[in-house]
Structure 1
Amino acid sequence: MGACGPGARHPVGTVGSRIFATRCIQLGEPIVALEIRRVVTGHDKNGRAIVLIDEIAKNVTSTRPGQAATVVWTTDKLPADNDGSIDASVRNVSTSESNGSVFRVVEYGPGVTPRMHRTDSIDYAVVISGEIDMQLDDSEVHLKAGDILVQRGTIHNWVNRGKEPCVIAFALIGAKPATAGGKTLHDVG
Structure 2
Amino acid sequence: MTQYITTHDAKGQSVYSNKTPTEPHAHSIPGGKLEILYSSHHFPPSLNTEADIDQYAHDRTHGMEGGICPSHGSAVAMVSFEPPAVSAWHRTMSLDVTAIIEGVMEAHLEGGEVRTLKAGDSMVQRGTMHMWKNVTPGNGWAKAVASASAIQQPLEIAGKTLETELRM
Using the size of structure 1 for normalisation, the TM-score is: 0.75
Q: Which residue of 2 aligns with 1:78?
A: 43
Cα RMSD over matched residues?
Answer: 1.8
User: Which residue of structure 2 lines up, in the alignment, with residue 170 of structure 1?
Assistant: 146
CA distance in 2, matches of 1:155, 1:128: 22
Q: Check 1:125–1:89 CA distance in 2 against 1; reply closer, same or farther (3 A cut).
A: farther
Asked if the contact 1:117–1:187 (Cα under 8 Å) also holds between the matched residues in 2, the reply is yes
In structure 2, list runs of 5 or more residues that go unmatched: none
Residue of structure 1 in register with 2:165 after alignment: 188
Residue number in structure 2 paired with 1:7 = none
Would you say the 8 A contact 1:71–1:89 is kept in 2? no
Moved more, 107-116 or 162-171: 107-116
Say which structure is richer in helix: 2
Q: Work out which structure has the larger RCO, using CA pairs closer than 8 Å and 6 or more positions apart in sequence.
A: 2
Query: How many residues were matched structurally?
Result: 153
**Structure 1: gaps of 5 or more residues:** 1-35
Shift in CA distance, 89/131, structure 1 to aligned 2, threshold 3 Å:
farther
Tell me what 1:156 maps to. Answer: 130
Q: Whole-Å Cα distance in 2 between the matches of residues 87 and 116 of structure 1?
A: 29
Structure 2 counterparts to residues 49-68 of structure 1, below 5 A: 49-53=14-18, 56-64=22-30, 66-68=31-33
Report whether the alignment pairs 1:88 with 2:56.
yes
Give me the identity figure in percent.
24
Q: 1:182 to 1:71 in 2, by over 3 A?
A: same
Matched residue, 2:3: 38
Aligned-partner Cα distance in 2 for 1:176–1:118: 15
Q: Does 1:101 align with 2:74?
A: yes
Structure 1 consecutive aligned stretches of length 4 or more whose deviation exceeds 4 Å: 53-56
